[in-house]
């Protein structure tokens, strides 16, 4: 049996961890907006990863593709090195 788990990625702030508002992973602005990033499947889990991104950064990534690529690299590094996926 495969278990489903949703993971939200955001920057640390003084906000409660289980609240709707968190810091944008790119610029630390407080936001409630998330983007679906990717799904990762392991032996027992299907992880659905969402990242908090403010509207300004989301529009910036549409305009400047090099900044979008840097953000993607930052997200992949965080997922690979900071998250413990079982």
Bridge pairing between strands 45-52 and 3-9: parallel
Total number of domains constituting the chain: 1
Residue 34 domain flag? yes
Residue 77 domain flag? yes
Task: Give the chain's count of helices (H) and strands (E).
Answer: 2, 5
Structure tokens at 84: 């413990």
What is the model's pLDDT at position 83? 85
What is the model's pLDDT at position 72? 96
pLDDT in tens, 26-72: 999 999 999 999 999 999 999 999 999 999 999 999 999 999 999 99
Residue 46 is part of which domain span? 3-81
Q: How far is CA 8 from the centre of its chain?
A: 6
> In the predicted model, is pLDDT for residue 86 greater than 80?
no
Whole-prediction pTM value?
0.91
Residue 86 domain flag? no
> In the predicted model, is pLDDT for residue 24 greater than 90?
yes
């Amino acid at each position: 049996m495969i278990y489903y788990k949703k993971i939200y990625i955001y920057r640390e702030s003084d906000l409660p961890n289980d609240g709707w508002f968190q810091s944008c992973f790119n610029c630390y602005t407080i936001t409630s907006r998330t983007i679906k990033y990717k799904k990762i499947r392991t032996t027992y889990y299907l992880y659905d990863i969402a990242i908090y991104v403010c509207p300004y950064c989301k529009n910036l990534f549409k305009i400047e593709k090099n900044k979008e690529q840097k953000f993607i690299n930052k997200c992949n590094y965080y997922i690979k090195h900071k998250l413990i996926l079982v």
